């Protein structure tokens, strides 16, 4: 047989070739086609091309942030960066008009330091920092007749237009149920599906990946339901029902995690109940009888109680009120799958007791009380605090990111002005996208940006040679806007589409075709960012990863302390568990990006993946402890020994990775 040779590509190259997958978001494609293109067309017809360019830029940058999710989260994710971009336009325009090259460069550098540090807070802050710097460079370098405040106003109008489209246009399937809910309903249903997948994978090699997928689904649903609102609490019965269904999924997720931690395979019917609940969320119909697991171990008893509570929750929100019709489980319901067994009969008697307790109306059941509190108040255990925000901005992650952004942004602005290029804004604007670590490893970003710009410039040069003006260019802007939601799956594709769109806008605004100069400026920006990204920096490298791991350790500590304290506040426990898993997911994402850097940069975060893995096992074990304590009131030697082993491993691994010691009270827990 002939030998088959396989070549293992380095991580920094495989990351550059990796692309996200999934169905085409047709609703976002329609919004993209109706955003920048029509705005530009209206301005051209009115004889105000420069106004149309500003509005189309605002809509384009908003389109980059138009990701899948609920309407509420879209308002926040698009609106906050839009406001930051408008502020950047004002600062950049007036600074560019009144200052010379040197003071202007210093102002832009200081702006880069601030925006970079704020970007360490989270994805929305990162998007806001990016738009602030891009808009500041455009305001300082793009020659337009309007004053700065008018530019900002029309830029905001473009972003607001896309938000209006997001709020007004229905998504597929929304009209069949409640028009107000699109991403929320799908997100909650995905949680129940993820619970079913974790139960099906228990005892197998995929259990860890399924638990991570459940964390992602819970994070997405939590964000979808916790977006900005006019009133603090849910104002409609449909929203209250959806929030209650999400709250009912939390004890199910807790029990499923504990069962996966135990490592024993489960019968196939164990996952059937969550699957039926997922269908009920999507369709808005009653869930029907739910098959119950045998109540043989604490994890299965917790799962059974959580299923009963979920059936009650769906029953109260359904069109009918009878338990037997909408999800109340009866002894016969479990015969649907594999017949009546002795364990099933025992479970039926327990169900009758639990049913009576839930219907007593006293609300003394901890599971029911915790779910009601969560559905009413949400999962935000720790309110927004200015001190915590400042610690993130001024911490090691914020300082390192701010320093890199400021240096790249300032150096690009200085080089561009030194070259006496009339439209020098492209160079610092390109550097901003290249220096963003949340878009991927440094070399991956550089390779994709260079390839995408070359491809986009060549494509535009071909179209510009044959398209009529300006109608052909306006059509090109509309088509590019429609392609952005699909192109965001890969940085090179996104860069190519945005390059075509921006070059078309520049020509509509009265500038000559600039494909070749854009290629040269982009390659120069790539070189600057590569050099600056590998320069030695004050302090310890890998600050963002270390900050994320420290936050994850603190969250795991708070969760473990609450569970071992014996507190019976389920709502607080679920909120702490959600925070611990969310912080772990953020740390894991930062570690994976850092590991795909060139070896000279990747070595600064060596060993952090082991710390994250230990923290994940610690939080999983804490969840198993919580479920066992609910059932028996005490821990088994297996639980205590596992906790002690993991805490010892955590100390050793943090020391090897060069991290600070964990909290002393965590080690004494």
**Which are the contacts of 181, defined by CB distance < 8 A and separation ≥ 6?**
70, 174, 238, 239, 242
pLDDT value, residue 359: 39
Exposure letters 415-454 (e unless 16+ CB within 10 A, then b): bbbeeebebbbbbbbbbbbbbbbbbbbbbbbbbbbbbbbb
pLDDT of residue 596: 81
Of the listed ranges 71-85, 182-196, 373-387, 592-606, the least confidently predicted one is 373-387
Confidence of residue 662 (pLDDT cuts 50, 70, 90): low
Question: What's the average model confidence in pLDDT over 326-348?
Answer: 35
- CA torsion sign, 415 to 417 to 419 to 421? positive
Residue 343 pLDDT exceeds 80: no
Q: Select from 29, 62, 284 the least CA-distant residue to 169.
A: 29
Share of the chain above pLDDT 70, in %: 84
Q: What is the dihedral of CA 111, 116, 121, 126, to 10 degrees?
A: 90
Tens-place pLDDT, residues 18-64: 777 777 888 889 999 999 999 999 999 998 888 999 999 999 999 98
* Alpha carbon distances (Å) from 91 to 2, 138, 151: 65, 10, 11
Amino acid 104: pLDDT: 92
- Per residue in 234-276, pLDDT (tens digit) is 556 777 888 889 999 999 999 999 999 998 899 988 999 999 9
Tokens of residue 320, six digits: 């009918």
Give the ranges where 173-271 is alpha helix by DSSP (H): 183-201, 207-225, 237-262
The string of pLDDT tens digits covering residues 621-632 is: 999 999 999 989
pLDDT higher than threshold 70 for residue 355 = no
pLDDT at residue 207 is higher than 80: yes
Cα separation of 423 and 1, whole Å? 61
Q: Which of 104, 117, 114, 118 is nearest to 410 (CA)?
A: 104
Reported as a single tens digit per residue, the pLDDT across 15-30 is: 777 777 777 888 889 9
Q: Give the SS3 label for residue 484.
A: helix
Which is nearest to 479 in space by CA: 509, 459, 453?
459
pLDDT at 286: 82
Would you place residue 329 in the very low, low, confident or very high pLDDT band (cuts 50, 70, 90)? very low
What is residue 496's predicted lDDT score, i.e. its pLDDT?
92
Residue 353 has a pLDDT of: 38
From 375-389, 603-617, 654-668, the region with the lowest mean pLDDT? 375-389
Read off the pLDDT of residues 602-623 as tens digits, 9 standing for 90 and up. 787 888 889 999 999 999 999 9
C-beta neighbour count of 174 within 10 angstroms = 18
Mean pLDDT, rounded, of the chain: 82
Task: Output the pLDDT for position 322.
Answer: 34
Nearest to 280 by CA among 415, 185, 169, 378: 185
């Amino acid at each position: 047989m002939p030998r088959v040779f396989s070549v293992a590509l380095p991580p920094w190259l495989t990351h550059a070739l990796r692309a996200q997958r999934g169905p085409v978001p047709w609703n976002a494609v329609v919004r993209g086609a109706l955003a920048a293109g029509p705005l530009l067309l209206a301005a051209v017809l009115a004889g105000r091309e420069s106004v149309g360019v500003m509005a189309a830029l605002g809509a384009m940058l908003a389109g980059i942030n138009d990701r899948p999710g609920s309407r509420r989260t879209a308002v926040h994710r698009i609106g906050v960066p839009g406001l930051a971009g408008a502020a950047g336009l004002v600062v950049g325009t007036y600074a560019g008009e009144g200052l010379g090259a040197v003071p202007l460069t210093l102002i832009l550098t200081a702006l880069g330091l601030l925006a970079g540090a704020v970007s360490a807070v989270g994805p929305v802050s990162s998007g806001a920092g990016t738009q602030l710097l891009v808009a500041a460079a455009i305001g300082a370098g793009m020659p337009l007749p309007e004053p700065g405040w008018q530019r900002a106003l029309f830029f905001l109008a473009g972003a607001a237009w896309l938000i209006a489209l997001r709020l007004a246009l229905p998504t597929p399937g929304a009209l069949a149920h409640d028009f107000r809910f699109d991403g929320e309903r799908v997100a909650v249903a995905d949680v129940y599906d993820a619970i079913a997948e974790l139960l099906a994978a228990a005892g197998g090699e995929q259990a860890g990946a399924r638990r991570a997928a459940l964390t992602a689904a819970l994070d997405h649903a939590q964000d979808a339901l916790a977006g900005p609102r006019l009133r603090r609490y849910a104002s409609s019965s449909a929203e209250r029902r959806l929030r209650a269904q999400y709250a009912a999924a939390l004890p199910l997720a807790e029990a499923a995690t504990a069962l996966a931690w135990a490592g024993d395979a489960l019968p196939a019917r164990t996952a059937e109940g969550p699957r039926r609940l997922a269908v009920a969320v999507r369709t808005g119909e009653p869930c029907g009888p739910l098959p119950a697991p045998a109540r043989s171990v604490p994890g299965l008893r917790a799962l059974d109680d959580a299923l009963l509570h979920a059936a009650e929750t769906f029953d109260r929100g359904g069109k009918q009120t009878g338990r037997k019709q909408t999800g109340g489980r009866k002894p016969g319901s479990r015969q649907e799958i594999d017949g009546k067994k002795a364990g099933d009969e025992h479970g039926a008697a327990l169900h009758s007791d639990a049913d009576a307790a839930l219907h007593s109306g006293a609300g003394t059941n901890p599971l029911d009380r915790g779910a009601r509190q969560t559905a009413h108040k949400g999962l935000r255990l720790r309110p927004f605090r200015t001190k915590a925000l400042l610690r993130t901005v001024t911490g090691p992650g914020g300082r390192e990111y701010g320093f890199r952004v400021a240096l790249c942004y300032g150096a690009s602005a200085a080089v561009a002005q030194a070259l006496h290029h009339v439209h020098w804004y492209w160079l610092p604007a390109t550097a901003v996208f290249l220096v963003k670590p949340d878009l991927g490893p440094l070399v991956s970003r550089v390779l994709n940006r260079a390839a995408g710009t070359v491809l986009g410039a060549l494509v535009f040069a071909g179209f510009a040679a044959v398209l009529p003006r300006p109608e052909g260019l306006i059509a090109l802007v509309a088509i590019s806007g429609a392609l952005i939601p699909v192109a965001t799956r890969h940085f090179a594709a996104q860069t190519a589409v945005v390059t075509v769109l921006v070059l078309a806008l520049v020509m509509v605004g009265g500038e000559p075709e600039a494909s070749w100069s854009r290629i040269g400026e982009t390659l120069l920006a790539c070189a600057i960012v590569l050099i600056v990204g590998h320069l030695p920096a004050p302090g310890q490298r890998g600050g963002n990863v270390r900050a994320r791991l420290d936050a994850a350790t603190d969250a795991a500590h708070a969760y473990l302390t609450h569970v071992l304290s014996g507190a019976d506040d389920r709502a607080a426990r679920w909120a702490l568990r959600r925070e611990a898993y969310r912080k772990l997911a953020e740390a894991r994402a930062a570690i994976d990006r850092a590991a795909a850097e060139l070896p000279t940069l990747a070595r600064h975060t060596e060993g952090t993946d082991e710390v994250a893995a230990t923290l994940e096992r610690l939080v999983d074990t804490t969840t198993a402890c919580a479920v066992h304590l609910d059932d028996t009131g005490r821990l088994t030697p297996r639980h205590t020994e596992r906790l002690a082993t993991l805490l010892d491993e955590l100390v050793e691994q943090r020391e090897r990775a060069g991290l600070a010691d964990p909290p002393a009270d965590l080690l004494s827990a």
